[in-house]
Amino acid sequence: MKKYFLQFIALAFLLATGLSALAQLKIEVTGVGSDQIPISVANFAGDQPGDQSISGIVRADLARSGLFRIIESNEVIPENAPLDAATWKSRGADAVVTGSVISGPDGRIEIRYRLRDVTKASDISTLEIKTQAQFSRHAAHRVADDVFNALTGVRGAFSTRIAYVAKSGSEYRLEVTDSDGENQFVPFRSTEPIISPAWSPDGKKLAYVSFDNKKPIIYVQELDTRRRIPVANYKGNNSAPAWSPDGKKLAIALSRDSLTQIYLINADGSDIKRLTKSNGIDTEPCFSPDGQTIYFTSDRGGSPQIYRMSVEGTDVRRVTFRSDYSISPSVSADGRMLAYISGRGANYQLHLHDLTTGAERSLSKASHDESPSFAPNSRYIVYSSNSGGKGALTVVSTDGTARYSLSTKTSNIREPAWGPFTK
């Protein structure tokens, strides 16, 4: 069993072959929630027509979440127009979004939106956003976030970003996109493998492993400046970086002292401290939201399982018991759930473990899943699946009812990491 675990970790360093250059991600919604909120998003006054309009982006965000049933509307309704509640009620809408886009000097725009309750004929939420026109998509996502929060009580995550690794031909790319797969940019590319991207808590940096020098080295890269620094370049394996919630430290996996073990290091590469001292392989650390606990994968008991320990490396306890193969832990931002990959029979699928009750269930419909990562609102998980030798990303709600995929026809995409909320 240990040999198989070693083979899996080695395979994590290799991404399957792709075929072309950078390509736009395609979204395919494959599941929706059973209790959807019927809502209509009217066309905003002063907005451009089409799917790339502010109102079009808001509609797509809400539909993709699986929690809303979109009542189609072709009307242009500014946010200050009176609402004909009887008409909207007859169409089956419980809520209506209206708004205006006002162009100003120097390429600036102002978006004014209003969310209205049809039954009560009253306002639920209003918002004004001033920004540069080039950031209109982000502003639209913020509107969708506000609608999501107002109607569900949960903060929306449409305005957040996802990082992942793509491979096309002989090129590996670290790519970052909006949560809907748009606005791609490439912080780093190489002809050598890139793995294990991890967001800093402020969303300004990514830690990842690069094989640029023919060996795995952990780097931290600033996204705005593209500046990167090596923070772990020891003998042997340097892998699996995970940020502490305060952004000051990284938990990493190193083999510099024999078998791979968990270490704690400052984000600038200084002051390294070994945390685990087992006779197995300890890897894939991740922090609890309060920073006091580290979850990790270890085969110290004979097969790979998820364990937890204090940030000091004490009080080590096993967490998973339902299968002979459990890897890749990810903890939700609210600290209630653990996502991981479980091997059962011939399938390696995403599972969700309730850290309070111990209950768990499968969230996957595929046979080979990898690298789960929670959205910062704890309501969705992004993970990669391998189908026919080609990697794609899937997003699933934590209740398993809503699901959509992000893929390209030509590139392999794997190892997703969902970014944090940012200001």
pLDDT band, residue 130 (cuts 50/70/90):
very high
Query: If pLDDT is split at 50, 70 and 90, which confidence band does 398 have?
Result: very high
Fold match, 2-28+160-418 / 36-152 = no
Q: Which amino acid is at 123?
A: D
Predicted pLDDT of residue 406: 86
Residues linked to residue 295 through DSSP beta bridges, in sequence order:
286, 308
Q: What is the pLDDT of residue 27?
A: 75
C-alpha 252/C-alpha 274 separation (Å) is 10
Q: Is there a contact between 293 and 307 (Cβ–Cβ < 8 Å)?
A: no
Q: What pLDDT shows up at residue 5?
A: 52
User: Considering Cα of 155, then 295, then 318, then 282, what sign does the dihedral take?
Assistant: positive
**Rounded CA separation 12/9 (Å):** 5
DSSP string, 168-231: ETTEEEEEEEETTS-S-EEEEEESS-EEEEEE-TTSSEEEEEE-TTSS-EEEEEETTT--EEEE
Return the SS3 of 133: helix
Residue 9: what pLDDT?
A: 46
pLDDT at 103 over 70: yes
Indicate whether 52 pLDDT > 90: no
Q: Is the pLDDT of residue 23 over 70?
A: no
Please compute the mean of the pLDDT values over residues 389-415 and round it to a whole number: 87
Judged against a pLDDT cut of 90, whether residue 418 lies above it is answered with: yes
Q: What is the percent of the chain with per-residue pLDDT over 90, rounded to a whole number?
A: 80
Q: What is the mean pLDDT of the segment spanning 330-336?
A: 97
pLDDT per residue as tens digits for the range 261-310: 999 999 999 999 999 999 999 999 999 999 999 999 999 999 999 999 99
Q: Note the pLDDT of residue 16.
A: 34
Distance (Å, rounded) from C-alpha 248 to C-alpha 311? 13
Residues 66-84: tens digit of each pLDDT:
999 999 988 999 999 998 9
**CA-to-CA separations, 116 to 18, 42, 79, 186, in angstroms, rounded:** 47, 11, 10, 39
Cβ atoms 370, 386 nearer than 8 A: yes
* Spatial distance between the Cα atoms of 13 and 169, rounded to a whole number of angstroms: 16
The Cα 157–Cα 166 span in angstroms is: 23
Strand, coil or helix: what is 58? helix
Q: Model pTM greater than 0.85? A: yes
The two three-digit tokens of residue 112, written as one number: 């004014």
Helix (H, G, I), strand (E, B) or coil at 234: coil
Amino acid, single-letter form, for residue 330: S
What average pLDDT does range 180-208 have in this prediction? 96
Other beta carbons within 10 angstroms of residue 217's beta carbon come to 18
- C-alpha 355/C-alpha 335 separation (Å) is 8
Tokens 């699996």 belong to residue: 240
In this structure, of 33-42, 73-82, 177-186, the range with the lowest mean pLDDT score is: 33-42
Strand-pairing partners, residue 116, are: 96, 123
User: Does the structure show a pLDDT above 60 at 13?
Assistant: no
Coil, strand or helix at 87: helix
pLDDT band for position 114 (cuts 50, 70, 90): very high
Band of residue 408 on the pLDDT scale cut at 50, 70, 90: confident
> First CA to last CA across the chain, in angstroms?
45
Q: Which CATH number fits domain 2-28+160-418: 2.60.40.420, 2.120.10.30, 3.40.50.261, 3.90.1200.10?
A: 2.120.10.30
| pLDDT for res 256 | 94
User: How does pLDDT run across 367-394, given as a tens digit for each residue?
Assistant: 899 999 999 999 999 999 886 677 889 9
Domain boundaries, the chain: 2-28+160-418, 36-152
Token representation of residue 20 = 């072309």
Q: What angle do CA 387, 182, 45 make, to 5 degrees?
A: 135
Q: At residue 12, does pLDDT exceed 90?
A: no
How is the beta sheet containing 390-397 ordered, strand by strand? 26-31, 403-407, 390-397, 380-387, 369-374
Q: What angle do CA 21, 415, 179 make, to 5 degrees?
A: 75
The amino acid occupying position 165 is V
Kindly indicate the confidence band of residue 24, based on its pLDDT and cuts at 50, 70 and 90: low
The chain-wide mean pLDDT, for the chain, equals 91
pLDDT tens by residue, 206-260 = 999 999 888 999 999 999 999 999 999 999 999 999 999 999 999 999 999 989 9
**Looking at residue 409, what is its pLDDT?**
67
Give pLDDT, residue 367: 85
Burial of 409 (0-12, 13-18, 19+ CB in 10 A): exposed
pLDDT at 14: 40
Q: Domain 36-152, what architecture?
A: 3-Layer(aba) Sandwich (3.40)
One-character DSSP codes across 114-143? EEEETTTTEEEEEEEEEEEGGGHHHHHHHH
